[in-house]
């Protein structure tokens, strides 16, 4: 057997071994209702809530429900798991109520910005998730709500400052 064939065979065996379930990362789903979701602290109109749920929660919450079939293929699951962890570090709607007011105001400001730019959900995500595509009106409504809520939070911060 040639050296090249041995290398290909060895790589094939390694890839097969990596497909064993023991190498899959834990899925991003928490059974318990923690009462710290964004809706537990801030007024989120139902239309906005549904848009966030459909377009954002798979990556930006503790409840990723839509795992495609290819998630079970390595190294795809590692890549997707890392992407979800990074997204949750940037913004986690499931734990939003735990953010201090100044952090929450900044998160609302960032949400406004990405909705105005229509840079989220990521284009790569939208390729396989048509349901997450937002219309121009949906982007605008979320952006307006985020800006309005940011101002409310900042006003609350200002009212609690002592001079």
How confident is the model over 29-66, as pLDDT tens digits?
A: 777 667 899 999 999 999 999 999 999 999 999 988 87
The whole-angstrom separation of Cα 120 and Cα 118 is: 6
The whole-angstrom separation of Cα 72 and Cα 116 is: 34
Name residue, tokens 């906005």: 48
CB atoms within 10 A of CB 14: 10
Residue 163: is its pLDDT beyond 90? no
For residue 132, what are the CA distances in angstroms to 46, 50, 77? 16, 11, 20
Segments making up each domain of the chain, as ranges: 26-160
When pLDDT is cut at 50, 70 and 90, the band that residue 21 belongs to is low
């Amino acid at each position: 057997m040639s050296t090249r064939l041995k290398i290909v065979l060895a790589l094939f065996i390694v890839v097969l071994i990596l497909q064993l379930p023991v190498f899959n990362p834990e899925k991003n789903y928490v059974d318990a209702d923690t009462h710290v979701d964004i809706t537990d602290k801030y007024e989120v109109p139902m239309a906005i809530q549904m848009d966030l749920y459909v377009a954002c929660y798979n990556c930006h919450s503790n409840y990723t429900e839509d795992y495609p079939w290819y998630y079970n293929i390595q190294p795809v699951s590692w890549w997707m798991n890392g992407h979800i962890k990074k997204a949750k570090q940037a913004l986690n709607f499931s734990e939003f109520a735990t953010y201090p007011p100044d952090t929450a105001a900044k998160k609302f400001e960032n949400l406004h910005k990405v909705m105005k730019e229509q840079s989220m959900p990521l284009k790569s995500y939208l390729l396989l998730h048509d349901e997450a595509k937002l219309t121009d009106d949906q982007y605008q409504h979320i952006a307006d709500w985020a800006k309005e809520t940011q101002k409310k939070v900042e006003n609350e911060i200002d009212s609690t400052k002592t001079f």
